[in-house]
Amino acid sequence: MSNPSVFSAESYFATQPPPPTLQTDVIGVRTFISKQAEQGRKVVLVTSGGTTVPLELNVVRFLDNFSAGTRGATSAEYFLKAGYAVIFMHRQFSLQPFSRHYSHSTNPFLDFLEIDSTSSRNATSEINVTPSKRPDLLQVLTAYKAVHAEGTLHTLTFVTVNDYLWLLRAVSQEMSILRRNAMYYLAAAVSDFFLPRQKMSEHKIQSGKGSLHIEMDQVPKVLKPMVAEWTREGYIVSFKLETDLSLLIPKARQALQRYGHQVVIGNDLHHRKHRVVLVYPSSLSPTSISSPASTPCFNHVPLSNLPDGTGSVEIDGILADTSAGQYTESWIEIDPSLAASGTKEIEEDIISELLRRHQSWVAAAPSAQ
Ligand code: PMT
């Protein structure tokens, strides 16, 4: 490595150790994929939740990336509903499909249960579900049981950014045999900086010596090798999170230009639950595939007060060609009050749109497929 603070993906994997469970995880994924391939299902990898960056080898302190895992867990449910098999790779203890409806912080499960007083004379009391909660619970439970019976959900966990990168590479490589029938939906919030193992303190960093100075290295942008080496013609969807709305479209276009994948979904922190933008190369417009009548409606909103990101913009010191024409944007927006009340989830419309695009991608495969 000429410059130790800039890791290529190759030098990263050559110097940072794999998580101890990697081999076992890979065997599980391989078995799952071959079963789904036999049954002719498309498979989507959903990454979800934030990665941590430990500061010590015996870790007491770490930096974390913001993400509850809502986007990933919710999206996974809609993919399953659409008949996809899902590899759900998520941050340990972040939200998961189905159980997310009963998160301990927003909807504690114990509040749904009642002790049946009529049975209290027996040695064992009965437990009932509060009648008003039954319809929703029954719906979630039915879907959950069906998915388990069909074996279409495979779950993997990560904690650190190192776990995430090793797993992402291994799972992508395993999925590459599916070629265009594979989709990669990268909703995890991945750390941009990390502390290489070689620079970590073994024990808890001691206080009492004034302020703490830590120099972190940049995490390699793994989307590049993912597109070029790890996957073969898979349909790759990355996310771009910004807090400055004016950067959203230019940065999404820049990512497409740099990595050459299929879609970037831009979301801004405060409106992410009711508004996102899909940015894609104009050449991948799925105009040839018509939307089925039952497809939930998604709105291509002509938001006149939003930036269109047209022109050249300097980002991270690099002049990005963000010329309109080369890329197209589709805004998806739902009523904020419906999103806030949980009556409508924007992921339903995101997934519906991606299914159409993935279908179009599969149909456009060279005949050699
Ligand atoms: O879980 P929620 O609370 O619902 O929040 C969802 C979300 C806001 C976290 C999600 O919608 C989202 O935007 N996720 C991506 C956030 C992010 O990490 O953005 P980024 O700009 O750092 O990364 C952009 C893309 O590059 C990502 O798809 C990532 O997979 C990829 N990446 C990131 C780091 C890295 N070293 N290599 C990468 O390839």
ipTM of the complex model: 0.92
Distance separating alpha carbons of residues 337 and 300, to the nearest angstrom:
19
On whether both 64 and 187 belong to a single domain, the answer is yes
Report the predicted TM-score, pTM, of the whole model to 2 decimal places: 0.89
The answer on pLDDT for 171 being more than 70 is yes
- Atom 16, ligand 1: which residue's CA is nearest? 189
Q: What is the mean pLDDT of residues 46-71?
A: 95
| Greater pLDDT, 312 or 337 | 337
On whether both 263 and 175 belong to a single domain, the answer is no
Ligand 1 site, residue 271, Cβ cutoff 6 A: no
The band of 323, judged by pLDDT with boundaries at 50, 70 and 90, is low
Do the domain assignments include residue 208? Answer: no
On whether both 44 and 140 belong to a single domain, the answer is yes
Rg, Å, the chain Cα set:
22
Do the domain assignments include residue 256? Answer: yes
On whether both 250 and 156 belong to a single domain, the answer is no
Q: Tens digits of per-residue pLDDT, 285-310? A: 765 443 333 333 334 344 444 555 55
On whether both 331 and 189 belong to a single domain, the answer is no
Do the domain assignments include residue 304? Answer: no
pLDDT of residue 366: 83
Do the domain assignments include residue 296? Answer: no
On whether both 133 and 152 belong to a single domain, the answer is yes
On whether both 156 and 26 belong to a single domain, the answer is yes
Angle formed at CA 1 by CA 229 and CA 219, multiple of 5 degrees: 60
Do the domain assignments include residue 123? Answer: no
Domain CATH for 158: 3.40.50.10300
On whether both 177 and 220 belong to a single domain, the answer is yes
The band of 318, judged by pLDDT with boundaries at 50, 70 and 90, is very low
Ligand 1 site, residue 241, Cβ cutoff 6 A: yes
- Atom 24, ligand 1: which residue's CA is nearest? 240
Distance separating alpha carbons of residues 324 and 320, to the nearest angstrom:
12
- Tally of domains in the chain: 2
On whether both 263 and 168 belong to a single domain, the answer is no
On whether both 228 and 272 belong to a single domain, the answer is no
104 contacts 120 by C-beta, under 8 angstroms: no
- Atom 13, ligand 1: which residue's CA is nearest? 241
The one-letter amino acid at 83: G
CA of 229 to the centre of ligand 1 (A): 20
The one-letter amino acid at 80: L
Distance separating alpha carbons of residues 202 and 174, to the nearest angstrom:
34
- Give the CA count within 13 Å in the CB-facing half-sphere of 21: 11
* Angstrom distances, CA of residue 186 to CA of 83, 194, 242, 295: 19, 19, 15, 23
Show the domain range for 273: 238-286+325-368
Distance separating alpha carbons of residues 287 and 364, to the nearest angstrom:
12
Q: What percent of the chain lies above the pLDDT cut of 70?
A: 86
The answer on pLDDT for 146 being more than 50 is yes
Ligand 1 site, residue 94, Cβ cutoff 6 A: no
Q: Tens digits of per-residue pLDDT, 13-45? A: 999 999 999 999 999 999 999 999 999 999 999
H helical segments located in 223-283:
223-225, 248-259
On whether both 140 and 267 belong to a single domain, the answer is no
The band of 284, judged by pLDDT with boundaries at 50, 70 and 90, is confident
The answer on pLDDT for 120 being more than 60 is no
On whether both 355 and 223 belong to a single domain, the answer is no
Do the domain assignments include residue 92? Answer: yes
- For the CA of 238, the nearest atom of ligand 1: 28
